[in-house]
Amino acid sequence: IQCRIFSMTFNPERTRTGNKILRQRLKGPSVAAYYPRRVVTFKDVKAAYPDLETWDDDEEDRLEHLQL
């Protein structure tokens, strides 16, 4: 009866169940709202301007590694 009154789960063995953590509000939306959104990426620029001569160091390193 006491568990129903205080909105607790009956746990006579006192094992860890994680209910305390699961009842808390989710932190993901507030953490995601803290950081600014990405406005544009390198791939977006290449897709928007295919004739533009661009240099991607990571892609060049990857291609050099594949040729070895």
Which residues lie closer than 8 Å to 11 by C-beta, 6 or more apart?
17
Model pLDDT, residue 50: 86
Q: What is the pLDDT of residues 4-30, one digit of tens each?
A: 898 888 888 988 888 888 888 888 888
Q: What is the pLDDT of residues 25-58, one digit of tens each?
A: 888 888 888 888 878 887 888 888 888 887 778 8
